Amino acid sequence: MFDRALLVAERHAGLPKLDGSTWHAYRRKWASERKHLPLPDVAAAGGWKDTQTLLTCYQAADANTMLTVMSETRKVTDRATGT
């Protein structure tokens, strides 16, 4: 019943069907947009019982986040190397 309602709403709004089934595509988008937030909080708010499922099935890498990761630098001091 909910799947049918979502499909009708998408059609009515003129939205294309998202890849990855009915609700999962929206959950993936929701979870991926919250990668910058604490994992336990995202899992709890999204209804995931374990963070592993959230990480492996719902949060996806994207170009913008990867660029941020590669661009951010933090100086690390290591006693072994003296740097």
Task: Write down the domain spans for the chain.
Answer: 20-70
CA dihedral 39, 42, 44, 45 (to 10 degrees): 170
For 9-66, the pLDDT digits (tens) are: 888 999 887 766 788 888 888 999 999 999 999 999 999 999 999 999 898 888 988 9
Q: Give the pLDDT confidence score for residue 75 in this predicted structure.
A: 78
What's the mean pLDDT in 1-7? 88
What distance, in Å, lies between the first and last C-alpha atoms of the chain?
61
Q: Give the pLDDT confidence score for residue 80 in this predicted structure.
A: 65
Higher pLDDT: 73 or 54? It is 54
pTM of the model: 0.69
Q: Give the pLDDT confidence score for residue 24 in this predicted structure.
A: 85
Inter-residue contact 59 to 32 (CB < 8 Å): yes
